[in-house]
Amino acid sequence: MDQATRPNLAWAPQSGPQAALVDCPFREVFFGGARGGGKTDGVLGKYAIKASLYGSGFNALFCRRELPMLDDAIERSREIYGKIGAGWNDQKKTWTFPGGGRLRFRPLERVQDADKYQGQNVSDACVEEAGLYPDSKPIDRLFAVLRSAKGVPTQLLLTGNPGGAGQHWIKQRYIDPAPQGLKVLSRLLPNGNEHRYVFIPSRIEDNKLLLENDPDYVNNLYLVGSDALVKAWLSGDWNAVEGAFFDCWSSAKHIIRPFAIPEDWVRFRSMDWGSAKPFSVGWWAVAGDDYPVEGCVIPRGAMVRYREWYGCKPGEPNTGLKLTAEEVGRGIHEREKGDKIAYGVLDPAAFAEDGGPSIAERMARGTSYKVNFRPADNARVSQRGAMGGWDQMRARLKGDGERPMLYVFSTCTDFIRTVPLLQHDQDRPEDLDTNAEDHAADEARYGCMSRPYMPPAVAVPQQQALKTIHNMTFNEFMDAAPRVQERV
């Protein structure tokens, strides 16, 4: 019987997702979905139950990126744990349960924060709002501290909602393999053993206590903003993207099935190199003339991404960082055998020399081949009338409104996985959030800047054009004069 029908209880799981969380035995659980799904309550309740079952063997961490973000969780824990005789140390932000178990509220922002607990018997860990983490590294490091000398089944719990910088890796790890959840997932470990984990979806309709106590909460969610945000927060839709940087992206328009690239189309490559991040290489072909393919006609001058090589994916071993620049150069050469590559563009930082040959030089060192690059135009945002890389990329995605000027083969899964979900930088809206997985977007930006595209002119009413002139300084007017004169 759940808490809704036994209000005298300190806590009991509501039937559905909360009960599934309490009973779930797997070592890794993602408990997430819509806002108001009772996720924090479910974790706090499960920890109270484990503390009563395992006594002093229970030693848990409850984490968020910053400690002040835990205020509401701490207040809710007072309502539950105070009723069962647990003692609270406010200075240490720690609960001690009657049987000797502990629960500590702690910040977890970087890998180093997780390393502080090495050598301790941490039986349980929860990371709340996992979607705030651009990548899973700090969270994954907690697996190294999960152990129990007293036979407590160890477990890592994650909670979260759609949206945020971590949507990429959460969606890939938990949602894509089991969109409806409640399916045992697994991945093979290097030692041959199997790691099993599960996604437990939790939505507002599952939290009957909240709906009874605050029946207007659902109405509040309808008022939060765009349709995408409402859809994400209300129904837990991980395909709805609020504040997408490339809001002009359309899977139906931009993703095409692979076809044989005509030999006379110009081909080139673009690359983003990171010494501490995965690299991304994209191969592009430029349509020599209007070209019909299944479902559309690719216009002359359009860029088609027909191949890619990505250094690593979230949640997988970072093999991209284990390759030397020479090995990456050899890999590029192997992948483009038979292609006539006109040129390659690479992040200018890869041409820096620091007491030795640059990354670009090292990639070109093949004994029987040369993988040459030139420095890419690294302008990210537009300045003084010159289009930056993001505007070039956005203009190609939009095209003439009917036909894009940038297409992606369906086999380029890392571009498709990462680029549509990128968000605006909150402090600089004209740029994207560089904390997200932006490697494919960066090298695509270099590629677009190497093939400048001028979007179709849009007619401007004379009155509007004159108003624009009146608001300009003299220097701005002189810079823009040829354009303005064409419109007036």
**Residue 245 DSSP symbol:** T
Query: Pick from 63, 479, 424: which is nearest to 243 by CA?
Result: 424
DSSP lists the bridge partners of residue 157 as 29, 126
DSSP-assigned letters across all residues of 188-225: E-TTS-EEEEEEEEE-GGG-HHHHHH-TTHHHHHHTSS
Single out the residue of 32, 93, 455, 100 nearest to residue 248, CA to CA: 455
The sheet with strand 59-64 has its strands ordered as 87-89, 94-96, 102-107, 59-64, 124-127, 155-160, 28-33, 194-202, 185-188
pLDDT score of 316:
47
Domains of the chain: 17-235 (3.40.50.300), 251-450 (3.30.420.280), 458-488 (no CATH)
**CB-based burial of residue 465 (10 Å sphere; 0-12 exposed, 13-18 middle, 19+ buried)?**
middle
For residues 94 and 62, give the distance between their C-alpha atoms in angstroms, rounded to a whole number: 10
What pairs with residue 388 in β-bridges? none
Residue 312, number of CB atoms within 10 A of its CB: 19
Q: Are strands 185-188 and 155-160 parallel, antiparallel or unpaired?
A: unpaired
For 377, residues 6+ apart whose C-beta sits below 8 A from its C-beta are 345, 389, 446, 449, 450
Q: How far apart are the first and last CA of the chain?
A: 75
pLDDT for the residue 365: 79
- Which helix (H) or strand (E) segment is 61 a member of? strand 59-64
**What is this structure's pTM?**
0.61
Please tell me the predicted confidence (pLDDT) of residue 263.
Answer: 94
What is the per-residue pLDDT for 46? Answer: 97
What are the per-10-residue average pLDDT scores of the chain (488 residues)?
A: 58 92 96 81 96 96 95 95 96 97 96 91 96 90 94 96 81 88 93 95 79 76 62 68 78 92 97 79 97 93 97 52 82 92 95 88 79 94 86 94 94 90 79 86 96 75 46 49 39
Give the pLDDT score at 188.
94
Q: At what angle do helices 389-398 and 439-450 cross, to 10 degrees?
A: 80
